[in-house]
Structure 1
Amino acid sequence: MLEDSGEREISLVGYCMGGQLSTMYAALHTDGPLKNLACFTTPVDSDGMVLFKRWLDPRYFDVDRVVDTLGNVPPELIYASFDMLKPAQRVAKNIQLWDNLWNDDFVRSYRLFERWAADQIPFPGECFRQFTKQFMWENRMVRNELEVGGRRVDLGAITVPFLHVVAEHDHIVPYDSARALVPLIGSEDKREVMLKGGHVSLVAGGNAIYRLWPQLESWLAERSV
């Protein structure tokens, strides 16, 4: 990106697990070109992800067998786990679609949104194995003990301006899982913002246009000129 743009610095935005990956990069590459870091609904404390924690209980979930058998984890498995958090939600959405089936604008918006929300890709097997063990089982990220490539990810090493936006009604990454992120970051310029919405509606859909993206725009405008 730096080569294509001709710039010397970059601002990075990470959503959900992308926020985890972004903080890992920032912590392990403190001498890199990163100028600003913004994360949305990023989990750091697996104890706050109660249902996921139960489903991945090592007494019942053999992650080694799953990965050794399947290789990369199928996207259908990941998507099904989200559906199980709110089993009636898909039924409610289908009813809403039926009620608006002759509204062309609604149907078009519905199809675009659902296509984006359901666009899961296979989860790399070894990453899934490590993520399950180090993050979900051992909760290493909130303890600053997570390792990537044999190197410890110290979130306190991050010193660039940092923004974390969380959703008030997030059922995938509850606030109990996300609240510890900002205190762990070493930056002096750091901020947490809570906005109305859920995990998906925070970043996509009509409300996101008026809530999230103006927040990010104004925050970056003060730090990227």
Structure 2
Amino acid sequence: MAESAPLSPEAVADRVRREVDRALKRNIKGLEFLTSTRAEVGAMARDLVHREGTAMLWRYRPVVDEIYRRPLLIVSPPSNKGYIFDLAPGQSMVEYLLNRGFDVFNLDWAPPRRDEAHIAIADYVDRFIPDSIARIAEITGEREITLAGYCMGGTLATIHAALHAGNAVKNLVLFATPIDFDTMRLFQTWADQRHFDVDMVVDRLGVIPPELMLGAFDLARPANRTAGRLHLWTNMWNDEFVRSYRMFDRWAAETLPVPGEYFRDQIKKLMWANALVKNELEIGGRTVDLARITVPILNIIAQHDHIVSEAAAHPIMTLTGSTDREQLVSKGGHVSLVAGPAALRRLWPLIDGWLGKRSV
């Protein structure tokens, strides 16, 4: 192998100056980082149009004169705040979709109160989502919507679409959505029913604190926090990197508590019994049969997702009755599907094309 040519004295001097400059910036900006207030999030104006218990329905204000007829409802995962879809200008999926003429709603969640510990999966799929769809119909006059969901928000959207087939949902868009919970090995280990007494946890706590769920994520990647801090320090000189880090760090730190009964359902029915993929999940006395879903489906998977693998998300492509199904596998991780400049360039234009043909 040929040796590379030695650097000239000028090139060496330039590299040294660059590294010294970055080292100085790291120290100065490191102090700024430690003393700064929490990162500002949210790019687009929105209005709270419906509130029911822990459920909050937001409508983003249109920014173009002509919008598609069929509204888009995005369901957030109950454990996370919905502003991940709208972090900042240039890093906002909502901003992108609004600029392309979509009428965007977000079903978001407030932390449950102690007296809301009884909220179960049935409340999300038979009450919160249907009530939001009804409110959207009142506002827009449109009876048909595209239903989308991220992570467990996508699982809830899928369950709703199966239970309420033939009603308002005319398209289903899923981002990093777990369907086959047997394939989520680390979470299976964390919630191993031989050692994890979910009934005791729920009965004693009522509302499940976010630290419990964050522990599962830390188990999946034990060194993730440390590696992230080291990566931050290495790039402390880069204002754009630090800005993005602070926004994502705030979102992760603001993980929400969840109602105890929802958590019990999630562990017993989805994680232990894997009832959804087996068509054995019962909600309100009805069986959730995925074959009843016949609407067009767009299934979006992150190639390097350490939370929801392709094996966990792919079964939606074979278990439904839909004949219009498309799967996109995007580079990046669990969060990069719905936030960040990389998604803006690679993924969101594909979503725009798919949705545009099905929103008129």
TM-score between the two structures when normalised by the length of structure 1: 0.95
**Which residue of structure 2 aligns with residue 157 of structure 1?**
292
Deviation at 1:116, TM superposition (A): 2.3
Deviates more, 1:20-29 or 1:111-120: 111-120
1:13 has 2:112 as partner? no
Which structure would you say has the larger RCO, counting Cα contacts within 8 Å and 6 or more residues apart? Answer: 1
Q: Work out the CA distance in 2 between the residues paired with 1:118 and 1:219.
A: 33
Q: Deviations over 1:157-216 (max 9, x none)?
A: 011111101111111011221221110111111111211111112221221112222221
**Which residue of structure 2 aligns with residue 90 of structure 1?**
225
> Which of 17, 26, 29 is residue 164 of structure 2 equivalent to?
29
**Which residue of structure 2 aligns with residue 179 of structure 1?**
314
Deviation at 1:105, TM superposition (A): 2.4
Deviates more, 1:164-173 or 1:100-109: 100-109
Deviation at 1:69, TM superposition (A): 0.8
**Which residue of structure 1 aligns with residue 335 of structure 2?**
200
**Which residue of structure 1 aligns with residue 124 of structure 2?**
none
Deviates more, 1:104-113 or 1:46-55: 104-113
After superposition, residues 47-196 of structure 1 pair within 5 angstroms as: 47-196=182-331
1:46 has 2:170 as partner? no
Does the 8 Å CA contact 1:147/1:153 hold for their aligned counterparts?
yes
Letter of the structure 1 residue corresponding to residue 330 of structure 2 = L
Higher alpha-carbon Rg: 2
Paired residues, what number? 225
Q: Work out the CA distance in 2 between the residues paired with 1:121 and 1:18.
A: 13
Q: Work out the CA distance in 2 between the residues paired with 1:221 and 1:213.
A: 12
| CA RMSD between the two structures | 1.3
Deviation at 1:38, TM superposition (A): 0.4
Does the 8 Å CA contact 1:113/1:205 hold for their aligned counterparts?
no
Q: Work out the CA distance in 1 between the residues paired with 2:224 and 2:283.
A: 36
Q: Work out the CA distance in 1 between the residues paired with 2:253 and 2:146.
A: 27
Deviation at 1:86, TM superposition (A): 0.7
Structure 2 residues without counterparts, runs of 5 or longer: 1-135
Letter of the structure 1 residue corresponding to residue 216 of structure 2 = S
Deviation at 1:71, TM superposition (A): 0.6
Deviation at 1:14, TM superposition (A): 0.6
Q: Deviations over 1:70-100 (max 9, x none)?
A: 1111012112211221111111110121223
Letter of the structure 1 residue corresponding to residue 154 of structure 2 = G
* Counterpart secondary structure, 1:198: coil
Deviation at 1:31, TM superposition (A): 3.1
Does the 8 Å CA contact 1:48/1:175 hold for their aligned counterparts?
no
Q: Work out the CA distance in 2 between the residues paired with 1:32 and 1:119.
A: 34
Does the 8 Å CA contact 2:186/2:219 hold for their aligned counterparts?
no
Deviation at 1:65, TM superposition (A): 0.5
Does the 8 Å CA contact 1:27/1:154 hold for their aligned counterparts?
yes
Letter of the structure 2 residue corresponding to residue 24 of structure 1 = I
Does the 8 Å CA contact 2:207/2:258 hold for their aligned counterparts?
yes
Q: Work out the CA distance in 1 between the residues paired with 2:350 and 2:254.
A: 26
Q: Deviations over 1:4-48 (max 9, x none)?
A: 222221111111111110011111111321111100111111111
Q: Percent identity?
A: 56
* Counterpart secondary structure, 1:143: coil
